[in-house]
């Protein structure tokens, strides 16, 4: 190594190795940056694949639902002309779906061949389904409605089920895809970080080595020089020099040496000047070249900010050639999206510091608006007056898009698409600030799914993940758009209810969530039962900042777990008040039942044809000595949780039968009594015996009684429900499905349940006059029910318009305020007497 | 069911009647009737009740809806009248009615009608395909037999494909008679002759060879075998007075 450096100048010895090491380092950094960029792009592509897949799947799901409703509508339509209109709408939806599916196929063929099979399976199932729907519609068009209905029922349970399975698998894939790309991103970022650190350490070591080597040599030489100059200073030049130095020749030689040195110095100066001049020329050529060939878009304006020159990259970026913009103000590029404050800052900095860089939004010649990273320098003459402005731009729209995508991944939970803990903390902070300003309450609900671990351990992560996705979906459905739903990890979720007026406003939502998450989960053909434990903390009383609210909600959640799961607990004051109110209600209810403070009211049901009374629905009332009327919505859940429902249900059944018997005695005959059964009662083994006892005790026949169950109670455990209902049928009791909606699963089950009556839910009836699709669904439900030989009772009929629609579509019985509110026994008796038969 | 068994049950029913029921309490009959027979049956019922204290409940629907309602338990009746063989077969297949108990007491005929005041003149069947006939009402072929017969007739006449874009269905014959009476001048409808009202005008009779013979089928439900009111009423239905009412209503009252 020393030999290598012996004949080199200090410059070369020090600078060259440093340049080499630096260049290697920069090369390595660029390489790793390229790798990083490559992986970001790859992640971007794959994550956009996931979200694109998701979007298209949702679109497909919606279209299939539309096809379903339209096919029902077609079957329920009596006029050829109207059927053709529906048929047209149906064809449009099917075409839209075909396009959507083809797009989905292309998308996955390129980027996710793994799911192609599933898409093919789904496409086939959809084709089968559409084939059946086409066939049904063709029959319907020939007015063969019966055969059409048979086809639709059959295809409902076969093809729709298959389509939903495929949709679920694909949705899961889309979520997995988003999760995988996020992991890829993290992995490559980590690899890059390691590589960069390694390069940094190696480069630093190399530089340290060279610096120590060169400085070692230099100091040695300096020491020699010092020694030599000391010797010269001391008159001891090197031996020959010393020998000659003392004589005149030596002095002459010295003088000549001086002269030669001086000449040499002048010549060196001349050489240097020439070299510099060449350097300047070279630099100027370089600059011009650099300006023209720079990859960065550049623009030069004169002191009055008129464009003098632009380079080729500028033309490529903006689409403007020099001739088009020369002499113009660069303002012509602006699109108006850059905040005025940024522009003010730009001019201020240019004036004060001569340099500014930042983000501007401009418009290309094509009209496209894009963000660009801009650096502007003002070039001044010696007097300090501005001569030019030089601006360079780079298009950062892609970078911004990547940033946004990475931002999404960083802020959202990959499995469920909910926001994650990190994002929750930020957003909760903002929500609390604005709540403080507006003097509103904010509730934090900490939710933990009971038995999740068991499900995960016994049925596998796959099923557990599906459950979590479904939980997330239900949570979102329970809250408003402005509320926050987050997943912290595992089976822990947090819901933030924003802008609440009072502490107790959180309770109904918490209750709704409790009920929504307790409903059974149908996952991959299995029915799973899980329920949430929910802890609630409410700002500002239970904590002012996010961290303490979360902590307190967590504590409340543990209380909930300790209370036997599947319940809501509040923290501190609010919690105690709510809990003790509940407890008080429970005790009061117990007492009320003992003291006979509960009563039944009866709401008449009339025949649609003539408005005559045909039956009544028994509804339980509780007049509390202090609170006044307590709604069944409030005390039935308490009764269910505390086990009082058993006694309450039995009492209601018996009291309703007693009243019917009493009316009979009073000469009011031919009336049917409808009584609601809770899900809990339907599960009770002794139900059938109790019903039989009540009938016998009051001298009634089975057909005098109608028992109403909700769709969800029947679906909770269909096999058991069917057995119980069958046994009730054998007593001659009429069975009704309450709050009938149009869930995907309901039709297939409906055919299996031994029911005779279908109650059209008040929510559909309410919107019949307003919402076309509710009217369609109601009309189709009526047609379906009639085709199954069922009778239909419409609930909540309040206006003549609703009545007319229902009568027109053949509804059998009506119930609602239009006829009568629920009445106490005596008043109900009067109403019935006046309107019977 | 053996004869001995049946008389045993009758005896029991009679005993129950004597011991447990107040003498004044009237018996009850529930009739599930194809809509087209409703008016005639109500007249028969009124006549019958002049000489016998019995409550009669009438359930009037299209035959298909009656059959399915009876099979699913949504309806309960002692006697079922269907306007075609298909829906009677349905309840027989479901085990609700014994084949041997099914009788066919009446027949009917189809007519093409327009609103009484309508200027629409139709003299030949293929005029239905002309633009001036804008809408043709028939019964729902699936559940209302008079619609099934109408569709058969239009097909046999070679008209179905040409007129099916004008078709609108009604769930039962009473609804159809009502909508037709209130319809505009471009509307015609096909219904049973027995259900013509004075607000409708018959324009053409349907050729009987274009459809299956229109026959009604009547049977007691097996579950009603214990009802003591059943046998006397069935006997009355077979009698001259009842047949006379049906004939006057426009039915073919010859049993087959």
Domains, chain B, in order of start with CATH, read 3-107+215-248 (3.40.190.10), 110-210 (3.40.190.10)
What are the backbone angles phi and psi of residue A809, rounded to the nearest 5°? -95, 15
Which B residues in the span 127-156 are in contact with A, Cβ-Cβ below 8 Å? 138, 140-143, 147, 151
- Kindly tell me if the per-residue pLDDT of A222 is higher than 80: no
The minimal CB distance from A80 to the residues B71, B74, B167 is found for B167
Using DSSP's 3-state secondary structure scheme, residue A516 falls into: helix
- Whole-angstrom distance, CA of residue A216 vs CA of residue A222: 10
Domain that holds residue A342: 294-402
Nearest CA in chain B to A783: B171
| Tens-digit pLDDT profile for residues A536-551 | 998 888 888 888 899 8
Q: Note whether B72 contacts A: Cβ–Cβ < 8 A.
A: yes
Task: Inspect the interface and report whether the beta carbons of A146 and B65 lie closer than 8 Å.
Answer: no
Using DSSP's 3-state secondary structure scheme, residue A475 falls into: helix
Q: Cα–Cα–Cα angle for B13, B18, B21, nearest 5°?
A: 90
**Residues A261, A194 share a domain:** no
Domain CATH number, residue A822: 3.20.20.450
**Residues A311, A274 share a domain:** no
Is residue A629 in a domain? no
- Whole-angstrom distance, CA of residue A464 vs CA of residue A491: 9
Q: Contact, A568 vs A562, CB < 8 A?
A: no
| Tally of CB atoms within 10 A around A134 | 16
**Residues A456, A353 share a domain:** no
pLDDT at residue A259 in the model: 53
What is the reported pTM?
A: 0.58
Is residue A503 in a domain? yes
Nearest CA in chain B to A149: B142
Is residue A285 in a domain? no
- Whole-angstrom distance, CA of residue A36 vs CA of residue A382: 44
- Mean pLDDT of all residues in A158-175: 80
- Whole-angstrom distance, CA of residue A533 vs CA of residue A450: 7
Is residue A286 in a domain? no
Q: Contact, A677 vs A713, CB < 8 A?
A: yes
Q: Note whether B186 contacts A: Cβ–Cβ < 8 A.
A: no
Is residue A221 in a domain? no
**Residues A274, A194 share a domain:** no
Task: Inspect the interface and report whether the beta carbons of A78 and B68 lie closer than 8 Å.
Answer: no
Q: Note whether B22 contacts A: Cβ–Cβ < 8 A.
A: no
Nearest CA in chain A to B66: A789
Q: How many CA atoms lie within 13 A of B52 on its CB side?
A: 18
**Residues A62, A180 share a domain:** yes
Q: Note whether A105 contacts B: Cβ–Cβ < 8 A.
A: no
Give the domain-ending residue among A557, A574, A591. A574
| Tally of CB atoms within 10 A around A690 | 16
**Residues A438, A516 share a domain:** yes
The minimal CB distance from A143 to the residues B67, B72, B169 is found for B169
Percent over 90 (pLDDT), chain A: 22
- Whole-angstrom distance, CA of residue A810 vs CA of residue A211: 98
Task: Inspect the interface and report whether the beta carbons of A80 and B69 lie closer than 8 Å.
Answer: no
Using DSSP's 3-state secondary structure scheme, residue A608 falls into: coil
Task: Inspect the interface and report whether the beta carbons of B166 and A80 lie closer than 8 Å.
Answer: yes
**Residues A537, A421 share a domain:** yes
- Going through chain B in order, the beta strands assigned E by DSSP cover 27-34, 54-61, 79-82, 110-115, 135-139, 167-170, 187-192, 200-205, 217-220
- Whole-angstrom distance, CA of residue A370 vs CA of residue A561: 53
| Tens-digit pLDDT profile for residues B64-101 | 999 999 998 888 899 999 999 999 999 999 999 999 99
Q: Note whether B69 contacts A: Cβ–Cβ < 8 A.
A: yes
Q: Note whether A319 contacts B: Cβ–Cβ < 8 A.
A: no
Task: Inspect the interface and report whether the beta carbons of A756 and B169 lie closer than 8 Å.
Answer: no
Residues of chain B by 3-state class (helix, strand, coil), percent to 5 = 45, 20, 35
Is residue A229 in a domain? no
Distance to chain B for A832, nearest Cα, Å: 18
Model confidence at A237, pLDDT cuts 50, 70, 90, reads: very low
What are the backbone angles phi and psi of residue A450, rounded to the nearest 5°? -70, 145
**Residues A299, A273 share a domain:** no
Q: Three-state SS across B162-180?
A: HHHHHEEEECCHHHHHHHH
What are the backbone angles phi and psi of residue B136, rounded to the nearest 5°? -125, 120
**Residues A381, A502 share a domain:** no
Domain CATH number, residue A325: 3.30.450.20
**Residues A794, A674 share a domain:** yes
Residues of chain A by 3-state class (helix, strand, coil), percent to 5 = 65, 15, 20
Residue A419 DSSP class: B
Model confidence at A589, pLDDT cuts 50, 70, 90, reads: confident
Which A residues in the span 230-289 are in contact with B, Cβ-Cβ below 8 Å? none
The minimal CB distance from A80 to the residues B65, B72, B168 is found for B168
- Kindly tell me if the per-residue pLDDT of B21 is higher than 70: no
Q: Note whether A529 contacts B: Cβ–Cβ < 8 A.
A: no
Is residue A349 in a domain? yes
| Tens-digit pLDDT profile for residues B101-125 | 999 999 999 999 999 999 999 999 9
Interface predicted TM-score (ipTM) = 0.85
**Residues A798, A733 share a domain:** yes
Model confidence at A658, pLDDT cuts 50, 70, 90, reads: very high
Distance to chain A for B139, nearest Cα, Å: 10
| Tens-digit pLDDT profile for residues A354-393 | 899 888 888 888 888 888 888 898 888 878 888 888 888 8
Q: Which of B74, B153, B165 to mutate to test the interface with A (most CBs of A within 10 A)?
A: B74
Is residue A192 in a domain? yes
Distance to chain B for A755, nearest Cα, Å: 7
Q: For residue A419, what are the β-bridge partners?
A: A412, A486
Q: Note whether B170 contacts A: Cβ–Cβ < 8 A.
A: yes
CB contacts of B69 in chain A (<8 Å) are 756, 789-791
Out of A164-178, A509-523, A702-716, pick the least confident: A164-178
DSSP result, A12-39: HHHHHHHHHHHHHHHHHHHHHHHHHHHH
Using DSSP's 3-state secondary structure scheme, residue B17 falls into: helix
pLDDT at residue A576 in the model: 55
Using DSSP's 3-state secondary structure scheme, residue A227 falls into: helix
**Domain count across chain A:** 5
**Residues A656, A792 share a domain:** yes
Tokens of B141: 């072929």
């Amino acid at each position: 190594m020393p030999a290598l450096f012996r004949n080199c100048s200090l410059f070369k010895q020090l600078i060259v190795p440093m340049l080499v090491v630096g260049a290697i380092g920069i090369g390595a950094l660029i390489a790793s940056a390229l790798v990083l960029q490559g992986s970001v792009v790859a992640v971007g592509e794959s994550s956009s694949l996931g979200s694109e897949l998701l979007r298209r799947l949702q679109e497909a799901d919606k279209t299939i639902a539309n096809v379903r409703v339209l096919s029902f509508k077609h079957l329920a339509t009596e006029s050829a002309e109207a059927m053709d209109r529906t048929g047209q709408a149906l064809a449009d939806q099917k075409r839209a779906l075909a396009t959507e599916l083809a797009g989905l196929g292309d998308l996955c063929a390129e980027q996710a061949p793994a799911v192609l099979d599933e898409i093919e399976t789904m496409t086939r199932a959809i084709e089968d389904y559409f084939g059946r729907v086409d066939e049904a519609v063709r029959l319907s068009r020939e007015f063969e409605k019966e055969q059409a209905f048979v086809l639709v029922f059959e295809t409902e349970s076969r093809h729709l089920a298959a389509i939903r399975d495929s949709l679920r698998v694909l949705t899961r894939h889309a979520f997995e895809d988003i999760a995988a790309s996020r992991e890829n991103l993290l992995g490559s970022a980590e690899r890059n970080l390691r590589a960069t650190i390694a390069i940094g350490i190696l480069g630093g070591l190399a530089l340290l080595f060279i610096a120590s080597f060169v400085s070692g040599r230099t100091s040695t030489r300096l020491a020699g020089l010092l020694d030599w100059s000391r010797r010269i200073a001391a008159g001891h030049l090197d031996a020959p020099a010393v020998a000659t130095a003392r004589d005149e020749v030596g002095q002459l030689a010295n003088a000549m040496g001086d002269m030669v040195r001086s000449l040499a110095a002048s010549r060196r100066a001349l050489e240097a000047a020439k070299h510099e001049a060449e350097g300047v020329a070279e630099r100027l050529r370089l600059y011009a070249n650099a300006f023209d060939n720079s990859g960065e878009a550049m623009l030069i304006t004169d002191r009055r900010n008129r464009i003098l020159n632009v380079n080729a990259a500028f033309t490529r970026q903006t689409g403007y050639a020099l001739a088009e913009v020369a002499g113009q103000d660069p303002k012509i590029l602006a699109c108006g999206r850059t905040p005025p404050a940024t522009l003010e800052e730009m001019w201020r900095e240019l004036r004060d510091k001569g340099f500014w860089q930042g983000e501007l939004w401009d418009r290309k010649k094509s009209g496209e608006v894009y963000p660009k990273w801009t650096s502007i320098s003002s070039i001044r003459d010696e007097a300090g007056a501005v001569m030019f402005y030089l601006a360079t731009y780079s298009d950062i729209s892609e970078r911004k898009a990547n940033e946004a995508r990475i931002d999404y991944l960083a802020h959202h939970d990959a499995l469920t698409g909910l926001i994650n803990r990190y994002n929750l903390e930020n957003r909760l902070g903002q929500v609390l600030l604005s709540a403080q300003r507006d003097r509103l309450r904010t509730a934090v609900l900490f939710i933990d799914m009971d038995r999740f671990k068991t499900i995960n351990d016994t049925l596998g992560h796959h099923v557990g993940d599906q459950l979590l996705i479904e939980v997330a979906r239900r949570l979102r459905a329970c809250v408003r758009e402005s509320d926050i739903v987050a997943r912290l990890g595992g089976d822990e979720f947090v819901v933030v209810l924003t802008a609440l007026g009072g502490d107790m406003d959180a309770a109904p939502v918490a209750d709704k969530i409790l009920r929504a998450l307790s409903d059974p989960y149908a996952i991959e053909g299995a029915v799973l039962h899980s329920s949430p434990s929910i802890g609630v903390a409410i700002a500002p009383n239970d904590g002012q900042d996010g961290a303490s609210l979360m902590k307190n909600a967590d504590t409340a959640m543990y209380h909930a777990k300790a209370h036997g799961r599947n319940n809501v607990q509040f923290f501190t004051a609010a919690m105690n008040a709510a809990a003790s109110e509940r407890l008080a209600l429970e005790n009061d209810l117990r007492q009320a039942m003992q003291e006979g403070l509960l009563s039944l009211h009866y709401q008449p049901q009339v025949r649609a044809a003539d408005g005559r009374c045909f039956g009544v629905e028994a509804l339980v009332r509780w007049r509390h000595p202090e609170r006044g009327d307590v709604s069944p919505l409030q005390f039935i859940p308490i009764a269910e949780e505390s086990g009082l429902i058993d006694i309450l249900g039995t009492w209601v059944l018996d009291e309703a039968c007693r009243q019917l018997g009493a009316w009979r005695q009073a000469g009011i005959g031919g009336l049917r009594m409808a009584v609601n059964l809770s899900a809990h009662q339907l599960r009770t083994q002794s139900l059938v015996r109790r019903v039989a006892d009540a009938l016998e005790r009051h001298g009634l026949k089975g057909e005098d009684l109608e028992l109403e169950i909700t769709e969800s109670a029947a679906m909770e455990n269909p096999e058991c429900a069917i057995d119980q209902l069958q046994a009730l049928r054998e007593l001659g009791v009429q069975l009704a499905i309450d709050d009938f909606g149009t869930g995907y699963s309901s039709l297939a089950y409906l055919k299996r349940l031994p029911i005779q009556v279908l109650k059209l839910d008040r929510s559909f009836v309410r919107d019949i006059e307003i919402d076309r699709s509710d009217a369609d669904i109601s009309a189709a439900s009526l047609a379906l029910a009639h085709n199954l030989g069922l009778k239909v009772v419409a609930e909540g009929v309040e206006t003549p318009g609703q009545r007319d629609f229902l009568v027109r579509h053949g509804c059998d019985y009506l119930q609602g305020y239009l006829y009568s509110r629920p009445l106490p026994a005596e008043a109900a008796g009067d109403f019935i007497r006046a309107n019977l038969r | 069911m053996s004869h001995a068994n049946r008389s045993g049950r009758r005896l029991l029913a009679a005993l129950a009647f004597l011991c447990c029921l107040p003498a004044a309490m009237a018996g009850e009959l529930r009739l599930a009737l194809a809509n087209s027979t409703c008016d005639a049956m109500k007249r028969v019922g009124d006549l019958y009740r002049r000489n016998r204290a019995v409550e009669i409940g009438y359930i009037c629907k299209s035959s298909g809806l009656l059959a399915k309602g009876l099979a699913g338990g949504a309806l309960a009746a002692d006697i079922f009248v269907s306007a075609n063989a298909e829906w009677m077969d349905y309840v027989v297949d479901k085990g609700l009615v014994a084949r041997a108990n099914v009788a066919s007491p009446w027949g009917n005929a189809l007519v093409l009608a327009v609103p009484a005041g309508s200027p629409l003149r139709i003299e030949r069947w293929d005029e239905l395909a002309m633009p001036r006939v804008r809408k043709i009402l028939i019964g729902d072929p699936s559940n209302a037999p008079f619609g099934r017969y109408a569709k058969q007739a239009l097909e046999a006449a070679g008209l179905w494909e040409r007129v099916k874009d004008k078709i609108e269905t009604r769930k039962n014959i009473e609804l159809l008679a009502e909508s037709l009476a209130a319809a505009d001048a471009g509307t015609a409808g096909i219904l049973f002759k027995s259900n013509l009202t004075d607000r409708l005008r018959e324009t053409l009779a349907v050729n009987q060879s274009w459809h299956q013979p229109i026959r009604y089928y009547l049977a007691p439900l097996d579950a009603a075998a214990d009802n003591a009111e059943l046998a006397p009423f069935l006997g009355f239905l077979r009698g001259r007075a009842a047949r006379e009412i049906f004939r006057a209503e426009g039915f073919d009252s010859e049993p087959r």
